[in-house]
Amino acid sequence: MPHVTTEDATQIFFRDFGSGSPVVLSHGWPLNGDAWEAAAVFLATNGHRVIAHDRRGHGRSTQTWHGNEMDTYADDLATLIDTLDLTNVTLVGHSTGGGEVVRYLARHGSRRVARLVLVSAVPPLMLRTEDNPEGLALATFDALRTGEATGRGQLYRDLADGPFFGNNRSGPENAVSQGVRDAFWHQSMACGHRAAYECIAAFSATDFRADLRAVDVPTLVIHGDDDQIVPFDVGGKRSADLIDGAVLKVYEGRPHGLPDTDRARLHADLLAFINSTERN
């Protein structure tokens, strides 16, 4: 299996296919690169080289004890991009992956990056603090930690059957197949237990506000306004406000798991943005 090796000897698994300008897809918690497989095939079929990696601790990458936080995630991503010598890159991050790619730009700059896409992404800051009163209460994330620690198999079932894909909403447009929900569960269970637990703090309590203000590449922000995991007013709306010149696309009535629930629309929006923007 293809891997790159980081400075602390962590093996980062990735899949690399297609040719053309590169698109790097960063996945959400507690999934892996397979969460992007439909988009990866679509973009590769339409003229792009697509790289989808498993974050450390997730999927087929090393299940590390240390480094399960955003700075290390970003540095791992830099190792992948540098090792493959990618340039003119489109970074696409879903959920926690949105934090990873934004922190990458803050720590490593945009020399290799041409454009950025945030999909249902966790920035700017999910956790409610004194200077972030719009965030979610700490109890929200403590409940996830409790579920992860005491019965993560059921936690992942509950997320897949409910808020992640919007299955707890009425209407046929919110009916996500059992197969999609099972895929979520299997990917989640492949994540290391410690990595999954520590990543909750990484995606909820990392402050990306300064990172977003420093973004200097064309950016597309996509977010569903019925996202029950990263609420629109906490995530996408505020991220678009902080990034100079960002384009915001709101998917009305749509949930968090857009790479599965809204594939055709998301794929079309990704391809159009990638093909229509050039770095100055």
Domain extents in the chain: 3-276
Is the pLDDT score of 175 beyond 70?
A: yes
Question: What is the three-state SS of 18-66?
Answer: CCCEEEEEECCCCCCHHHHHHHHHHHHHCCEEEEEECCCCCCCCCCCCC
Which of the following is catalytic: 227, 260, 262, 269?
227
- Indicate which residue of 21, 61, 95, 188 is catalytic: 95
CA pair distance 112, 173, nearest whole angstrom: 39
**Set 48, 58, 223, 256: catalytic member:** 256
267 annotated active-site = no
What is the three-class DSSP state of 106? helix
Give the HSE-up count for residue 131: Cα atoms under 13 Å, Cβ half-sphere: 4
Measured CA to CA in angstroms, residue 48 lies from 21, 40, 108, 171, 210 at distances of 5, 9, 23, 35, 31
The average pLDDT across 35-40 equals 98
In DSSP terms, 115 is beta-bridged to 90
Categorise residue 186: left if φ over 0, alpha if ψ from -120 to 50, beta otherwise: alpha
Q: Which residues contact 142 (CB under 8 A, 6 or more apart)?
A: none
CATH topology of domain 3-276: Rossmann fold (3.40.50)
> Is this model's pTM higher than 0.85 or not?
yes
Concerning whether 53 is annotated as a catalytic residue, the answer is no
Could you confirm whether 16 is annotated as catalytic? no
Give per-residue pLDDT as tens, 66-124. 999 999 999 999 999 999 999 999 999 999 999 999 999 999 999 999 999 999 999 99
pLDDT at 173: 75
Per-residue pLDDT, 276: 87
Instruction: Report the share of the chain in percent with pLDDT over 90.
Output: 95
